């Protein structure tokens, strides 16, 4: 291709980068963005920006190598593991939990399927925040046994109710059917094949190089740069297990995203299953869409009038705020990893989308 033909593409890329940087620097200067933002088109990074400090006490800046706890984006990895095990015929998501864990929640587990856990429609009572601070209970089955009542709040499959417990219970199933710790299964089936060396599991006793500290003030996009930020009281992240214990860099999260496009982690049939919305559970305002296995499917109407399907997965634990937006029709991806909760991830993500899809 000649230089004259390449020039418009280069100018277009520079224009997009400038538009995104102006937008995101504005959020940062208003005190509503601290973290890393990565935007990719067809797998190629077209923008990456780093804002604020990974450690505010020592003024350590956030860089491309900063690792962030991704909170509930962990659930995407858990869904991948479950579907991989289904493809290996080690489990069947349509089977009840009882098939794999007959002694865990023995009264209700005959009525709850693995698919209902994946869709947050189990009907199980929710988790309690103090449970994650009490002491380390790294094995998912032990956490469930200790903290979850053997009862139901609603009929399984009847309604969506967001619940970390559902995915922690999936972690117990993964450990049971493989005979391995879920962290080892993650390493063998996702991290090693994709060569993800900056992704792992947060454990309170581990010193993890380049892991960001968390800060909060619970403003979520309504505050200013002058507002006070507080140090996070660190929970035992390992208690969240398959619901929220993973850390990653933006670049390695993009590698997972691209592996899904390339069917390197799951077959096309499994991908279709994972991203088929279950509309019978209804549109959920919390998720901005319909539940699917490990993510949510929503539609965004652009200024041009085009309706864009977005696969969304967000995460939040204290100051750690994260968002993964996948526009699979065009292979466009937006990743936001933050170590404060001062920003509104939905609004920032939508503003980036508008600049990716101008009139």
> DSSP code of 189?
I
134-175 pLDDT, tens digit per residue, is 999 999 999 999 999 999 999 999 999 999 999 999 999 999
- Measured between alpha carbons, how far is 106 from 278 in angstroms, rounded to an integer? 27
What sign does the dihedral 355-216-132-67 (CA atoms) show? Answer: positive
User: pLDDT for 25-61, tens place per residue?
Assistant: 999 999 999 999 999 999 999 999 999 999 999 999 9
Within 8 A by CB and 6+ apart from 89, the residues are: none
Counting every residue, how long is the chain?
A: 359
Taking the C-alpha atoms of residue 174 and residue 34, their distance in angstroms, rounded to an integer, is 35
Q: What pLDDT, in 10s, does the model give residues 219-251?
A: 999 999 999 999 999 899 999 999 999 999 999
- For residue 14, count other CB atoms closer than 10 A to its CB: 11
Q: How confident is the model at residue 5 (pLDDT cuts 50, 70, 90)?
A: very low
Per-residue confidence (pLDDT) for residue 301, from 0 to 100: 83
Q: What is the mean pLDDT of residues 288-310?
A: 90
- Residue 177 and residue 221 in contact, taking contact as beta carbons nearer than 8 Å: no
Mean pLDDT (the chain) is: 94
Q: Which two tokens stand for residue 156?
A: 């399984």
Task: Please give the Cα distance from 311 to 116 (Å, whole number).
Answer: 19
Is residue 286 very low, low, confident or very high in pLDDT (cuts 50, 70, 90)?
A: confident
What are φ and ψ of residue 115, in 5° steps? -60, -40
Helix axes 250-261, 74-87, angle to 10 degrees: 30
Burial 37-76 (b: 16+ CB within 10 A, else e): bbbbbeeeebbbbbbbbbbeeeeeebeeebbbbbbbbbbb
14 is written with which tokens?
């520079």
**288 has pLDDT over 60:** yes
């Amino acid at each position: 291709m000649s230089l004259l033909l390449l020039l418009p593409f280069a100018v277009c890329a520079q224009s997009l980068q400038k538009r995104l940087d102006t937008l995101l620097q504005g959020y940062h200067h208003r005190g509503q963005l601290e973290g890393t933002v990565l935007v990719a088109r067809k797998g190629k990074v077209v923008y990456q920006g780093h804002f604020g400090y990974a450690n505010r006490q020592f003024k350590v800046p956030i860089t491309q190598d900063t690792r962030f706890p991704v909170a509930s984006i962990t659930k995407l990895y858990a869904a991948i593991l479950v579907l991989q095990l289904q493809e290996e015929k080690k489990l069947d998501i349509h089977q009840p939990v009882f098939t794999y864990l007959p002694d865990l929640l023995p009264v209700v587990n005959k009525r709850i399927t693995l698919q209902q856990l994946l869709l947050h429609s189990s009907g199980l009572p929710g988790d309690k925040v103090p449970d994650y601070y009490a002491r380390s209970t790294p094995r998912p089955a032990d956490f469930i046994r200790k903290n979850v009542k053997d009862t139901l709040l609603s009929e399984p499959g009847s309604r969506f109710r967001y619940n970390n417990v559902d995915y922690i219970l999936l972690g117990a199933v993964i450990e049971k059917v493989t005979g391995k710790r879920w962290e080892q299964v993650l390493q063998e089936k996702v991290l090693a094949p994709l060569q993800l060396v900056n992704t792992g599991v947060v454990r309170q006793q581990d010193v993890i190089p380049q892991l960001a500290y968390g800060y909060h003030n619970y403003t979520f996009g309504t505050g200013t740069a002058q507002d006070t930020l507080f140090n996070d009281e660190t929970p035992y992240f390992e208690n969240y297990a398959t619901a929220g214990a993973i850390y990653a860099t933006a670049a390695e999260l993009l590698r997972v995203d691209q592996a899904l496009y390339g069917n390197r982690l799951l077959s096309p049939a499994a991908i279709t299953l994972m991203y088929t919305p279950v509309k019978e559970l209804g549109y959920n305002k919390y998720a901005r869409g319909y539940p699917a296995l490990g993510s949510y499917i929503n539609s965004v109407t652009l200024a041009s009038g085009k309706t864009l399907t977005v696969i969304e997965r967000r995460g939040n634990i204290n100051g750690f705020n994260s968002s993964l937006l996948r526009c699979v029709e065009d292979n466009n991806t937006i990743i936001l990893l933050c170590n404060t909760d001062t920003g509104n991830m939905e609004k920032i993500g939508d503003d980036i989308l508008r600049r990716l899809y101008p009139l």
